[in-house]
Amino acid sequence: MPAAIPKTEPLRLSVLRRYAILDTLAEPSYDDITLLAAQICGTPIALISLVDSDRQWFKSSVGVSAKETPRDHAFCAHAILNPDQTLVVPDATQDERFANNPLVVGNDHFRFYAGAPLVTPSGEAIGTLCVIDRTARELSEEGLQALQALSRQVIALLEMRRLVSDLETLSTTDGLTGLRNRRAFDERIIDEHHRSMRSKHPFSLLLIDVDLFKDYNDSFGHQAGDDALEDVARIIQYTVRNYDLAARYGGEEFGVILPDTDNQGAMGLAERLRRAIERDEWMYRQITVSIGVATIEHGQSIPALIEQVDRALYTAKQRGRNQIVSADAD
């Protein structure tokens, strides 16, 4: 008997996915918890099960090799329906919800189940810490309390993971535009340089400068200038590809890293970007950008590449702005 869908299912799934835990590799901190649960409860099987939209996925497991099962087969899908209670099934063959479950009548021979819901601070049950046996049995009060306590430790680990991720995002995101900041740009260019050296594939850089931005600020005010930078960032983010990195390089300058992109491809994307900004509807006056383009193809160092793209941008501004200059042609 498949479990009902929780009334808050969209929110529950959103909370689950915010942890970015699904399909990650095994980690000792989670494995320690399942090992303790199995030992304390005296069961051959213990799982940290996360209930996704159509499956249950195991972040950690003792006693089973499977990484996931269909949600329709999941005891845990029933357990999350009552976040405040631990679901205990002494003998699955005597419970109409599970008597015909493939995990019971099939080769797994599950009989006993106890699952403590993993309840987030917002009150959503995203899965369980559960213990399973192949013989019918009961769970002692001490075992029940231990399972509940360990389930709270799983949530503590997930919350720590989310906090670290949020802090990392804050530390690499520009507060005004929402693009990556200079730190993120510098880290990514090192990664792309190493990858390019190994694969012998080129990658390209764009350095973008908002034309006459100081004059714009002086004429219309700093708030108008901030609004303009936000709009330019929005257009950049919309124009680049999902695997490109767009960053606020500094002030009114933006940088874009284009992996696996030769000079011709970079020039084409730069032109689409220049046109999109030129043709956008601006509140006070038209805004344009100058763009320098450089491509690493012959093993240049990162400082040499930055110098090339910076020189190309300077040339674009010297030639009248609102244009693109490639370092190859400079």
Residues catalogued as catalytic? 252
Among the listed residues 51, 45, 38, the one whose alpha carbon sits nearest the alpha carbon of residue 64: 45
Contacts of residue 167, Cβ cutoff 8 Å, sequence gap at least 6: none
**Residue 262 backbone phi and psi in degrees, to 5:** -85, 180
- Measured between its terminal Cα atoms, the distance across the chain in Å is 70
Give me 211's structure tokens: 């034309």
The amino acid present at 43, given as its one-letter code, is: T
Beta bridge partners of 45: 132
Return d(Cα 219, Cα 233) in angstroms, integer.
21
Contacts of residue 195, Cβ cutoff 8 Å, sequence gap at least 6: 201, 203, 259
Contacts of residue 301, Cβ cutoff 8 Å, sequence gap at least 6: none
